[in-house]
Amino acid sequence: MASPEFATALNMKRSSMSPRTLFSSVMTVITFVCAALALIPLVAVLSYVLINGASSFRLSVFTQLPPAPGLTGGGFGNALVGTFLTVGIASLLSIPFGVLAAIFLAEFYRDTKLAETINFLTNVLSGVPSIVIGAFAYAFVVLATGTFSAVAGGFALAVLMLPTIVRTATESLESVPRDFRQAAIGLGATRFQTTVQIVLPAAIPAIITGVMLALARAAGETAPILFTASTSRYWVRSVWEPTATMARLVFDFATAPYKSQQELAWVGSLVLVALVLVTSILSRWIVRKR
């Protein structure tokens, strides 16, 4: 018997006008609108970059130097080289550092207080604003060497990439099945042999995927480059002099009053976005294939 204490009508019929049904429908519509709102800027940014970038695109942008103010044509060949150089320096510094640290965290000290603490600090480090990392690199390298340089820029990007690399490498190593290790240790392998010959090779594809994503992001980072690598109108001759980069070039030319420079900013953006997009899709494809 139904208790009279329950005020609602005990009717099982569906009613599209009941407050509950109405509320549900309204909320459902709201979430759909939210999803649409989130996708609009993405579509807008990507399509503008694609349209404006592609309309000014010529192959010579990859080989020529930036145009002088007011002149047309030119490209960003030196900035492209500079980006590869700074990101390359950043990789040399941060990848061995990050992977070795990850081996310690995943293989030797997993689930200990020390590893917990370092993981915590790694996450906090990844939250440090990139401009602050730029300031740090400025004090640490630029002031010490007395010059803006590709090394200073690479150092800043290395600090920026480090937490990502530590985290993805740790996760990759931890996802290697325990059986592998036990089998190796059961055969009398040392921890060094187990790690280098068994675990690391098994984790390498996943590590490479994570590192690729980190590199693509670093290539688009501008704030830490601004006053470390600075910029230059010439081709790179040495790692110890101011160096042009794609990200810095987009920033400078976006705020420049000349049409030809603004066009190059769009083309440069297209290159940066394409880089991120391709690595994202590629890494996703690799992850799915495994």
Partner 1 sequence: MASELQSARKTETVFRTENLNIYYGDFLAVRDISIEIPKNKITAFIGPSGCGKSTVLRCFNRLNDLIKSFHLDGKLFYHDQDLYAPEIDPVEVRRQIGMVFQKPNPFPKSIYDNVAFGPRLLGYKGDMDELVERSLKQAALWDDIKDKLKAMGTDLSGGQQQRLCIARAIAVQPDVILMDEPCSALDPISTLKVEDLLQELKEKYTILIVTHNMQQASRASDRTAFFNVEANAKGQRTGYIVEYDRTEVIFQSPKEQATQAYVSGRFG
Partner 2 sequence: MATSPSQTAMPTERSQSSRVLDKAFVWLTGAFAIGVGFVLLAIAFRVGTDALPAIQKFGLSFLTTSRWSVNDEVFGALTQIYGTLVTSFIALLIAVPIGIGVALFLSEDYLPPRIKQPVVFLIELLAAIPSVVYGLWGIFVLIPLLKPFGIWLNTNFGWIPLFSTAPSGPGIYVAGIILSIMILPIIAAISRDSLVAVPAEIRQAAYGLGATRWETIFQVILPAAFSGIVGGIMLALGRAMGETMAVTMVIGNSNSISPSILSQGSTVSSLLANQFAEAGGLQVSSLMYAALILFGLTLVVNVLAEIIVRRFSLKL
User: Where along the sequence are the contacts to partner 1 (CB under 8 A)?
Assistant: 1-15, 20-21
Q: Which does 180 bind (CB under 5 to 8 A by kind): partner 2, partner 1, none?
A: none
Residue type (1 letter), 270: L
Q: How far is the CB of 23 from partner 1 (least distance, A)?
A: 12
Span near partner 2 by CB under 8 A; candidates 62-70, 78-86, 138-146, 203-211: 138-146
Query: Residues 247, 248, 253, 255: what is their CA dihedral angle, to the nearest 10 degrees?
Result: 110
What is the size of the binding site for partner 2 (CB under 8 A)?
94
Q: How far is the CB of 56 from partner 2 (least distance, A)?
A: 13
d(CA 247, CA 261): 14
Phi, psi of 135 (to 5 degrees): -60, -40
Question: Does residue 54 touch partner 2 according to CB under 8 A?
Answer: no
Region 219-248 residues binding partner 2, contact defined as CB under 8 A: 220-223, 226-227, 230, 247
* H helices present in 127-222, as ranges: 130-137, 143-145, 150-174, 178-186, 191-193, 200-220
Q: How far is the CB of 77 from partner 1 (least distance, A)?
A: 54
Q: Tell me whether residue 1 or residue 42 sits nearer to partner 1 (CB atom).
A: 1
Question: Does residue 124 touch partner 2 according to CB under 8 A?
Answer: yes
Region 14-33 residues binding partner 2, contact defined as CB under 8 A: 20-21, 23-24, 27-28, 30-33
Q: How far is the CB of 19 from partner 1 (least distance, A)?
A: 10
Chain-centre distance of CA 174, in angstroms? 22
Q: Which does 4 bind (CB under 5 to 8 A by kind): partner 1, partner 2, none?
A: partner 1
Of residues 90, 124, 101, 93, the one with CA closest to residue 221: 90
CB 157 within 8 A of CB 141: no
- For the chain, the residue count is 290
Q: Which does 68 bind (CB under 5 to 8 A by kind): partner 2, partner 1, none?
A: none
Would residue 74 be called left, alpha or beta, if left means φ above 0 and alpha means ψ between -120 and 50 degrees? left
DSSP-derived secondary structure letter, 99 = H
CB 71 within 8 A of CB 260: yes
Burial grade of 220 (CB within 10 A; 0-12, 13-18, 19 or more): middle
Region 258-277 residues binding partner 2, contact defined as CB under 8 A: 262, 265-266, 269, 272-273, 276-277
Name which position in 211, 216, 244, 264 contacts partner 2 (CB under 8 A): 216
| Binding mask of the shown chain, residues 146 to 185, with x at each position contacting partner 2 by CB under 8 A | --x----------x--xx--x-------------------
Q: Which does 179 bind (CB under 5 to 8 A by kind): partner 1, partner 2, none?
A: none
